[in-house]
């Protein structure tokens, strides 16, 4: 019912003082609490699934569904020799700045939205380290 319709119904009821007013039940939705923000670890898992796995694969082996179409093959993040050769800080930087930001392939996109979320990037670094076993 339109708001002016409620007014007309109310005025019509005023015309009949001998009739008792009927109570109208209304339902008001209780305010819902905002969902708790996901932990940095949960956010990192979602980002790895949504942004990284398409190229690096779900196990970080560089065999994601998009890998076959890329001129520069994605890094196998599970390779022991690579894991030993790179620092956590370097992984952190390439996650945020992308390949071009560290002199690597421009096909590795940057994630500038993560620059203000260092705890999520730290959790992503831990995920990358986990691919190495």
What tens digit of pLDDT does each residue of 55-81 get?
999 999 999 999 999 999 999 999 999
| Terminal Cα distance for the chain, rounded | 63
Q: What are phi and psi of 12, to 5 degrees?
A: -65, -35
List the Cα angle 49/50/55 in 5-degree steps.
80
More confident call, 82 vs 29? 82
Residue 1, both tokens: 């019912």
Euclidean distance between CA atoms 85 and 128, whole angstroms: 13
CATH node for 40-131? 1.10.760.10
* Sign of the dihedral defined by the CA atoms of residues 73, 74, 75, 79, in that order: negative
What tens digit of pLDDT does each residue of 14-47 get?
455 555 556 666 666 666 777 777 999 999 999 9
Q: Length of the chain in residues, anyone? A: 133
Q: Other CB atoms closer than 10 Å to residue 22's CB: what's the count? A: 6
Q: What pTM, to 2 d.p., does this model score?
A: 0.73
> Among the residues of the chain, which ranges form H helices?
3-14, 40-47, 53-56, 80-85, 88-97, 118-131
């Amino acid at each position: 019912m339109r708001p002016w319709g409620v007014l007309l119904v109310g005025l019509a009821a005023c015309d009949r003082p001998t009739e008792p007013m009927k109570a109208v039940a209304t339902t008001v939705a209780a305010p819902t609490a905002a969902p708790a923000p996901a932990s940095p670890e949960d956010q990192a898992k979602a980002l790895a699934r949504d942004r990284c796995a398409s190229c690096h694969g779900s196990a970080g082996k560089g065999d994601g569904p998009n890998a076959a179409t890329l001129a520069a093959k994605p890094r196998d993040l599970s390779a022991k020799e690579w894991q030993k050769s790179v620092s956590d800080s370097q992984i952190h930087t390439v996650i945020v700045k992308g390949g071009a930001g560290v002199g690597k392939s421009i096909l590795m996109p940057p994630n500038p939205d993560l620059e203000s979320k260092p705890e999520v990037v730290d959790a992503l670094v831990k995920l990358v380290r986990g691919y190495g076993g």
